[in-house]
Structure 1
Amino acid sequence: MKNVKLIKVWDALHTSYWFLPGILAISSIILAVVTLTLDHIIDFNDWDWLYAGGPEGSRAVLSAIASSMISVTATSFSITIVAMQLASSTFGPRLLRNFMKDTGNQIVLGVFIGTFIYSLLVLRAIYNEDFDLFVPHLSVTVGLALAILSIGVLIYFIHHASTIIQVSHVLQSVSDDLDKAIERLFPEKIGVNPQVNQPYREDVPPDFSLQAYPIKNNKNGYLQAINDEKLMEIARQYDLLVHVKFRPGNFVVKGSELVMVWPGVRVNNKLKQQLQQIFIIGKERTEQQDIEFPIQQLVEIALRAISPGINDPFTAIRCIDRLSAGLCYLVQRQFPSPYRYDYDNQLRVMVPSLDFEGIVDQAFNQIRQYSNSDAAVTIRLLEAIALVATHTKNPHHREVLRRHADMIERGSHEGLPESQDRKDVYRKYDDVIQSLAANYEM
Structure 2
Amino acid sequence: MKHTSTRISHLPMNTSWMREKLQQFRDSIAYLTSIIITIYVVLGIAAVSLEVNSLPDFLSFIKFDQPGTSRSLLTTLMAGMISLLVFSFSTVMSVLTQAGSNFSNKLVFAIMTEKRHQQVLGHYLGTILYLLILLLVPAIGNTPDIWRSLAVYLGAGMVINSLAMFVFFIHGASQSVQINAITQGLLVSTQQSLDKLRKRQQSDAYTYRVAQPIDPDTGHVIYSRDSGYVQGANFDALAELARRHNIAIHLEFSFGDFLVKRLPIMTVESETPPGDELVDRILACLDYVEGESTEDHYVNGLTQLMEVAIKGLSPGINDPGTARLCIHQVTELLSQRLALTPCNMRVDEQGHCLLSWHEEGFESLMFRVFNPILHYGEKDLSICLSLLKAFKALSNFATAEDNRIIQAHTDRIIALMADHFTAPLEVAFIEDRLTRGLHRLHINPHLPAGSSSD
Taking structure 2 as the reference length, the TM-score comes to 0.84
Residue 117 of structure 1 is matched in structure 2 by: 129
Q: Deviations over 1:73-132 (max 9, x none)?
A: 122232233233222211122222322322222222211111111222233454364x68
The structure-2 alpha-carbon separation of the partners of 1:127 and 1:119, relative to structure 1 and needing over 3 Å to count, comes to same
The structure-2 alpha-carbon separation of the partners of 1:363 and 1:138, relative to structure 1 and needing over 3 Å to count, comes to same
Residue 283 of structure 2 is matched in structure 1 by: 276
The structure-2 alpha-carbon separation of the partners of 1:207 and 1:373, relative to structure 1 and needing over 3 Å to count, comes to closer
What does 1:422-441 correspond to in 2, within 5 Å? 422-431=427-436, 435-436=439-440
Task: Say if 2:380 is the partner of 1:374.
Answer: yes
- What stretches of structure 1 of length at least 5 have no aligned partner? none
Distance, in Å, in 2 between the alignment partners of 1:133 and 1:235 is 67
The structure-2 alpha-carbon separation of the partners of 1:353 and 1:156, relative to structure 1 and needing over 3 Å to count, comes to closer
Does structure 2 retain, via aligned residues, the 8 Å contact 1:303–1:367? yes
> What SS does the aligned partner of 2:232 have?
strand
Residue 243 of structure 2 is matched in structure 1 by: 236
Task: Say if 2:225 is the partner of 1:218.
Answer: yes
Does structure 1 retain, via aligned residues, the 8 Å contact 2:68–2:143? no
The structure-2 alpha-carbon separation of the partners of 1:62 and 1:42, relative to structure 1 and needing over 3 Å to count, comes to farther
Task: Say if 2:96 is the partner of 1:89.
Answer: no
The structure-2 alpha-carbon separation of the partners of 1:435 and 1:30, relative to structure 1 and needing over 3 Å to count, comes to same
Q: Deviations over 1:315-369 (max 9, x none)?
A: 1111111111212222223322x34321222122232133222222222111112
Does structure 1 retain, via aligned residues, the 8 Å contact 2:63–2:145? no
Distance, in Å, in 2 between the alignment partners of 1:351 and 1:301 is 29
Distance, in Å, in 2 between the alignment partners of 1:375 and 1:50 is 71
Distance, in Å, in 2 between the alignment partners of 1:353 and 1:417 is 41
- What stretches of structure 2 of length at least 5 have no aligned partner? 1-15, 443-454
> What SS does the aligned partner of 1:214 have?
strand
Q: State the 1:302 CA deviation.
A: 0.6
From 320, 324, 331, the equivalent of 1:324 is 331
> What SS does the aligned partner of 1:209 have?
coil
Q: Deviations over 1:211-232 (max 9, x none)?
A: 3111111233222221111111
Residue 37 of structure 2 is matched in structure 1 by: 25
Q: State the 1:425 CA deviation.
A: 3.1
Equivalent pairs, count: 425
Task: Give the RMSD, CA atoms, in angstroms.
Answer: 3.0
Does structure 1 retain, via aligned residues, the 8 Å contact 2:66–2:143? no
> What SS does the aligned partner of 1:127 have?
coil
> What SS does the aligned partner of 1:431 have?
coil
The structure-2 alpha-carbon separation of the partners of 1:118 and 1:343, relative to structure 1 and needing over 3 Å to count, comes to same
> What SS does the aligned partner of 2:378 have?
coil
Task: Say if 2:193 is the partner of 1:192.
Answer: no
More displaced 10-residue stretch of structure 1: 361-370 or 33-42: 33-42
Does structure 2 retain, via aligned residues, the 8 Å contact 1:313–1:377? yes
From 145, 152, 162, the equivalent of 1:134 is 145
The structure-2 alpha-carbon separation of the partners of 1:44 and 1:147, relative to structure 1 and needing over 3 Å to count, comes to farther
What does 1:177-188 correspond to in 2, within 5 Å? 177-185=189-197, 188=200
The structure-2 alpha-carbon separation of the partners of 1:236 and 1:425, relative to structure 1 and needing over 3 Å to count, comes to farther
The structure-2 alpha-carbon separation of the partners of 1:80 and 1:46, relative to structure 1 and needing over 3 Å to count, comes to same
The structure-2 alpha-carbon separation of the partners of 1:350 and 1:115, relative to structure 1 and needing over 3 Å to count, comes to closer
Q: State the 1:388 CA deviation.
A: 2.7
Distance, in Å, in 1 between the alignment partners of 2:160 and 2:289 is 42
> What SS does the aligned partner of 2:75 have?
helix
Does structure 2 retain, via aligned residues, the 8 Å contact 1:39–1:139? no
Residue 414 of structure 1 is matched in structure 2 by: 419
Distance, in Å, in 1 between the alignment partners of 2:198 and 2:21 is 20
The structure-2 alpha-carbon separation of the partners of 1:261 and 1:127, relative to structure 1 and needing over 3 Å to count, comes to closer
The structure-2 alpha-carbon separation of the partners of 1:132 and 1:384, relative to structure 1 and needing over 3 Å to count, comes to closer
Does structure 1 retain, via aligned residues, the 8 Å contact 2:190–2:295? no
The structure-2 alpha-carbon separation of the partners of 1:18 and 1:353, relative to structure 1 and needing over 3 Å to count, comes to closer
Residue 184 of structure 2 is matched in structure 1 by: 172
The structure-2 alpha-carbon separation of the partners of 1:225 and 1:121, relative to structure 1 and needing over 3 Å to count, comes to same
Q: Deviations over 1:384-421 (max 9, x none)?
A: 2222333x252223222222222211111223343433
The structure-2 alpha-carbon separation of the partners of 1:194 and 1:168, relative to structure 1 and needing over 3 Å to count, comes to closer
Does structure 1 retain, via aligned residues, the 8 Å contact 2:64–2:144? no
> What SS does the aligned partner of 1:76 have?
helix
Residue 357 of structure 1 is matched in structure 2 by: 363
Q: State the 1:375 CA deviation.
A: 0.9
Residue 401 of structure 1 is matched in structure 2 by: 406
Return the letter of the residue paired with 2:145: F
Residue 68 of structure 1 is matched in structure 2 by: 80
Task: Say if 2:110 is the partner of 1:104.
Answer: no
From 284, 296, 300, the equivalent of 2:303 is 296
Query: Equivalent pairs: percent with the same residue?
Result: 21
The structure-2 alpha-carbon separation of the partners of 1:7 and 1:215, relative to structure 1 and needing over 3 Å to count, comes to closer
Return the letter of the residue paired with 2:323: A
Does structure 1 retain, via aligned residues, the 8 Å contact 2:311–2:317? yes
> What SS does the aligned partner of 2:272 have?
helix
Distance, in Å, in 2 between the alignment partners of 1:207 and 1:303 is 41
Q: State the 1:27 CA deviation.
A: 0.8
Taking structure 1 as the reference length, the TM-score comes to 0.86
